[in-house]
Amino acid sequence: MKTNYSEAQIEKLIMKHYSNIANLESLSGGLVSQTFFFQSGDSRYVFQIGDRHEDYEKQHYIFSKFGKAIPVREVVGVHQTEDGAAYCFSNYIEGRKLFDLSDDERRETAEPVISVLLRMSEVELPVDSGYGRFDANGKAPYETWHDYIAAIYNDKVYDWSLLSNKNFNDMAVPKAIDELAKNIQFAQIDKAYLVNGDAGSYNIIAFDGQITGLIDCGSALYGDPLYCMANLLFWNEDKLHYLISLVKQRYYTDEYNKQKLYCYALRIGLEEIYNTVILNEIGYDISWVNNRLEEIVMHGLQ
């Protein structure tokens, strides 16, 4: 659950670590964290507070291992409040979120976004890193990429029977599971790559036409770089229409890639429904997600 601390409480927390602060300002767009900007001396920082301690530790790990190759925030401290909330400090990255840019500015960043996301696949991963979402120590739980994709319909991992206890029209779920199971052979790769699991207009920062930051990387995983492209296609953001068009031109080409992207989009939608409806995690408009999933089942990623 997202925290609801007042600005005065936030300032008091920050001053436990930075005695001289100025220009404290709330930042928009955080789905699971309250986010603030502040200055201390000549340095600028981002403060985040929420209930996902592991996500903040994971972001620290990502910077320490991959920060020389990709533009991610440097987490400089992770802490916990007396009532159990987690909070962290990161160095500020110059720029604005893609969401806040003009349409022309977003168009200018489309190529750089793809370049940065692909640059992630060039970094060297730890030995025996595994597949799927990794933890704050860089370890992922699945032996193969196939196992990670197929886990969404493994009832030992995802208990979809719990959906019957929820007031939710789940007609898209069994269709999507059936489609994914029938096409699971396309979820095969020989090597794991670093993948941004949640690229979107709220967590990519640009400045002067270049990508300066990939932020809130708690969903990062080891797997197929096409999974990131499938995420952009699934969410199909209006504000990223030029980027999405470019992704389709580049990757939605041959039948093999189309089937891969289709499988990945099904899994992305199913995971969002499971986490939001069954696990009661903070998520996006679940009716939209359900309708989008059904649309993909019926018509593909057109």
Which SS3 state, helix, strand or coil, does residue 54 take?
Answer: helix
> How many residues are listed for the chain in this entry?
302
Compute CA 101 distance to the chain's CA centroid, rounded to the nearest angstrom. Answer: 20
User: Which residues, in sequence order, are bridge partners of residue 40?
Assistant: 43
What does the pLDDT average to over 117-122? Answer: 95
Please say if the pLDDT value at position 269 is more than 80: yes
Mean pLDDT of 251-273: 96
5-31, pLDDT tens digit by residue?
Answer: 999 999 999 999 998 999 999 997 667
- pLDDT recorded at residue 169: 75
* Helices first, then strands: H and E counts in the chain: 9, 11
Residue with tokens 């269709």: 175
Phi-psi domain of 21 (left: phi exceeds 0; alpha: psi -120 through 50; beta: other): beta
The reported pLDDT for the residue numbered 106 is 97
pLDDT higher than threshold 70 for residue 1: no
Its pTM stands at 0.95
Residue 192 CB-density burial (10 A; 0-12 exposed, 13-18 middle, 19+ buried): buried
Q: How far apart are CA 177 and CA 182, in angstroms?
A: 9
Label residue 43 by pLDDT band (50, 70, 90): very high
pLDDT of the residue at 235: 97
Tell me how far CA of residue 201 lies from CA of 109, 215, 291, in angstroms.
11, 11, 21
Q: State how far the Cα of 38 lies from the Cα of 47, in Å rounded to an integer.
A: 8
Task: Give the pLDDT mean for 35-43.
Answer: 96
Average pLDDT over residues 55-72: 96
Which distant-in-sequence residues (6+ apart) come within 8 Å of 15 by Cβ? 21
Q: What percent of the chain has pLDDT over 70?
A: 99
Q: How far apart are CA 48 and CA 88, in angstroms?
A: 5
pLDDT tens digit sequence for 157-216: 999 999 988 888 778 999 999 999 999 999 999 999 999 999 999 999 999 999 999 998
3-state secondary structure 274-290: HHHHHCCCCCCCHHHHH
> Which of helix, strand or coil describes residue 210?
strand
Domain chopping of the chain, boundaries: 7-91, 102-299
CA distance 125 to 138: 9
Which class would CATH give 102-299?
alpha beta
Q: What amino acid is encoded at 38 in this protein?
A: F
The mean pLDDT of 120-131, rounded to a whole number, is 93
Residues 6+ apart with CB under 8 A from 298: none
For the domain 7-91, what is the CATH code? 3.30.200.20
Q: Hunting for tokens 């989008």 — which residue is that?
A: 292
3-state secondary structure of 97: strand
pLDDT at 281 exceeding the cut of 80: yes
